[in-house]
Amino acid sequence: MTSPDLALSIDSDRLVQRLDDLARVGAIEGTTGCARLALTDEDCAGRDLVTTWMHDLGLEVVIDGIGNVVATMPHPSGRSPVMTGSHIDTVATGGRYDGNLGVLAGLEVIETVLTAGIELHRPLAVGFFTDEEGSRFQPDMLGSLVYVGGLALEDALLIEDAAGAVVGDELDRIGYRGAAPLPAAAPHAFVELHIEQGPVLEDEDVTIGVVESVQGISWTEVTLTGRSCHAGTTPMRLRRDPGVVAAQIAAYVRELTGEIGGAQVGTVGSLTLTPNLVNVVPSAATLIVDLRNTDEATLQEAERRFREFVAQAAAREGVDVELRSVARFEPVAFDGGVIDLVEQCAGELQHTTRRLPSGAGHDAQMLARVCPTAMIFTKSVGGISHNVDEYTAPEDLAAGANVLLQTMLRLTTTEFDR
């Protein structure tokens, strides 16, 4: 099959209905959002529901040792599947689309293909990965990380949440410690549909985001220590004010994004003065600087300039400075062939498209380590995510799912038997 049927379409109502049904599990009263932190009772109930749907479609469902659940079309070939998937855990006050869309759209793609009776060269598979959000157990993307062999299962099982509960025990408790081996066999290819969680598609009125990469992330905690004193009685020349240096750094981060340009983003979302009193020059200031870029060399250049500025500003004021890297991930580039295919399918379906990087982390970036991978984004209204007000219109959900359908079908063909 080299020219799949563009008229084949997922059932939009059924997709929205499943999103609604899943969102009722752990629903946050008075909102359209939900709370299903990884490996809680609510997560278990969500897993049970989705797994039931997988079984209802006659799929082969396997659960691995970290609780990832993968459902594959029965297929006589034994060929590796074209896989999609995402996660169904949420943050504490999450929306109903983040992750869930990717899983349920995958289910929808498979149901559509099965109903149409199309014979494929290789099977399709859909999975959901454990603890993608990282809200309960760190690191985030835990399940997919273990899936691709980035973290040993035995280490992952020992991770504790803030209350001291352990991953392995929680998997046993909810009945999702499976027997499928890890790392898992690599799929033939992987495509993940996800809401953008940002404002670009809405801002430019583009339907489909063709995700080329995931930004590299650099978080640096800056702790500045000076000399607390009275804001009225201390002449400027006798001050060693860590608050001023913190402000200068935060203002510089914005300048730096302009200097570097391109995909460079920089944010100071967290800044705390001590004691934070109007008439007291602070004794200390702490801020975390978030720098991201899709290009590792450019990200390193941004980090270098940032550190240079911090050292100069601190020295000028006579305050002590301590830098601590609190997160550092290199950028991930997706597969050129899969990216092109997503773009091509979306175009053939008459959707406007735009290539863009992902600013947030996704399971797909883990799968990219073991197979050709890309992602499809749909609009997030207002760029809102990790929030009960997260929203994507049904027509955008359907558009994304149909691009996923066409892309997956194309990836099953012999043309992609590389």
- What x/- string results for residues 350 through 389 when contact with a copy of itself is judged by CB under 8 A? --------xxx----------------------xxxx---
Residue 283 neighbours by CB under 8 Å, 6+ apart: 225, 226, 227, 228, 242, 274, 275
Q: What is the CA radius of gyration of the chain?
A: 24
Q: Which pairing describes strands 353-358 and 265-274: parallel, antiparallel, or unpaired?
A: unpaired
All residues at 6 or more sequence positions from 296 whose CB lies less than 8 Å from its CB, including other chains: 216, 330, 331
Least distance CB 287 / a copy of itself (angstroms) = 9
Query: Is residue 162 at the binding interface for a copy of itself, with CB under 8 A as the rule?
Result: no
SS3 state at 76? coil
Residues 270-289 that bind a copy of itself (CB under 8 A): 270-273, 276-282, 288
**How far does Cα 177 stand from its chain's mean position?**
23
Cα separation, 375 vs 417, whole angstroms: 20
Burial code of 156-195, b = ≥16 C-beta within 10 A, e = fewer? Answer: bbebebeeeebbbebbeebebbbebebbbebbbbbbbbbb
The least CB distance from residue 166 to a copy of itself, in Å, is 26
Peptide bond between residue 76 and the one before it cis (omega within 30 degrees of 0):
no
Number of C-beta neighbours around residue 300 at 10 A: 15
Q: How many residues bind a copy of itself (CB under 8 A)?
A: 59
CA dihedral 33, 70, 132, 112 (to 10 degrees): -40
Nearest approach, Cβ of residue 205 and a copy of itself (Å): 13
Q: Which of 46, 127, 243, 400 binds a copy of itself (CB under 8 A)?
A: 243
Q: Of 158 and 326, which has the nearer Cβ to a copy of itself?
A: 326
CB 241 to a copy of itself: min, Å: 8
Examine residue 6 and tell whether it contacts a copy of itself (CB under 8 A). no
Contact string 286-325 vs a copy of itself (x = CB under 8 A): --x-x-x---------------------------------
Nearer to a copy of itself by Cβ, of 120 and 244: the residue is 244
| Cα(281)–Cα(382) distance, integer angstroms | 38
State in angstroms the smallest separation of the CB of 202 from a copy of itself.
10
DSSP state of 82: E
Minimum distance of a copy of itself from residue 408's CB (angstroms): 25
- Of 74, 76, 164, 235, the one binding a copy of itself (CB under 8 A) is 235
* Residue 85 engages a copy of itself in binding (rule: CB under 8 A): no
Select from 151, 295, 137 the least CA-distant residue to 215. Answer: 295
Q: Is 219 in the site for a copy of itself (CB under 8 A)?
A: yes
In the complex, what is the shortest distance from the CB of residue 382 to a copy of itself, in angstroms, rounded to a whole number? Answer: 8
Among 61, 247, 323, 381, binds a copy of itself (CB under 8 A): 247
231 is a site residue for a copy of itself (CB under 8 A)? yes
Phi, psi of 338, deg, nearest 5: -70, -40
Determine the interface stretch with a copy of itself among 45-53, 153-161, 254-262, 304-312 (rule: CB under 8 A): 254-262
Q: Which residue, among 61, 367, 347, has the nearest Cα to 191 in the 3D structure?
A: 367
Name which of 24 and 254 has its Cβ closer to a copy of itself.
Answer: 254
- From 57, 31, 66, 314, select the one nearest 166 (Cα to Cα): 66
Binding positions for a copy of itself, rule: CB under 8 A: 196-200, 203, 215, 217, 219, 229-236, 238, 241, 243-244, 246-251, 253-254, 257-258, 264-273, 276-282, 288, 290, 292, 326, 358-360, 383-386
